[in-house]
Amino acid sequence: MGNFTFNETKIKGVYIIDVKTFGDNRGYFMETYKESDFKAAGLDYNFVQDNQSSSRKGVLRGLHFQKTHPQAKLVRVLKGEVFDVAVDLRKGSETYGQWVGALLSDENHRQFMIPRGFAHGFLVLSDYAEFTYKCDDVYHPEDEGGIMWNDPAIGIEWPDAGEIILSEKDKVHPSLKESKIEF
């Protein structure tokens, strides 16, 4: 479809999106989002907020979600490389508690589409990374939740990035079983 290839993952609704780039000796150009192409692929979202973060190697952000105001997210890397993960928290889903990951970088230009009802997190693999994402609901700080990044019941296979650096809140998230979260 146009300048995007939408690759559905093993978890329904989660897509890895390859973006066509046009380059020459000056650099490159690419579309990162086009509403009509996304809608034609069945990804009909009304994005209302864009976020950007920067992190150093080994920083792991996640696994985050909003409890009563879940967000769909379209994520990508502007600089560097990250391993991005979505964990299915949808009640009654055949893949509840399962995860899917994608390597996103400024070189592969890939994007990751994560629908509502998922926990999300990423690990920085390069020395430095800039990460951006579109959300279909605004952030509600009082509504945030999280689950352990290394919950053995989920079994995420994080790549080796050396020492893992977590925020204080990410150090104390409960396991999926303890959180009892379902969307």
Has residue 88 been placed in a domain? yes
Domain that holds residue 142: 49-179
Is 133 in the active site?
yes
Q: Could you read off the pLDDT tens digit of each residue along the chain, which spans 183 residues? A: 689 999 999 999 999 999 999 999 999 999 999 999 999 999 999 999 999 999 999 999 999 999 999 999 999 999 999 999 999 999 999 999 999 999 999 999 999 999 999 999 999 999 999 999 999 999 999 999 999 999 999 999 999 999 999 999 999 999 999 998 888
Report the SS3 class of residue 91. Answer: coil
Residue of 45, 120, 133, 173 marked active site: 133
> What integer pLDDT is reported at residue 1 of this predicted model?
61
Q: What is the CATH number of the domain that holds 70?
A: 2.60.120.10
Has residue 61 been placed in a domain? yes
Has residue 83 been placed in a domain? yes
> What integer pLDDT is reported at residue 104 of this predicted model?
98
Count of domains for the chain? 1
Q: What does the alpha-carbon distance between residue 12 and residue 154 come to, in Å, rounded to a whole number?
A: 17
Has residue 119 been placed in a domain? yes
Has residue 74 been placed in a domain? yes
Has residue 11 been placed in a domain? no
- Residue 53 host element (H or E): strand 49-56
Residue of 45, 64, 120, 173 marked active site: 64
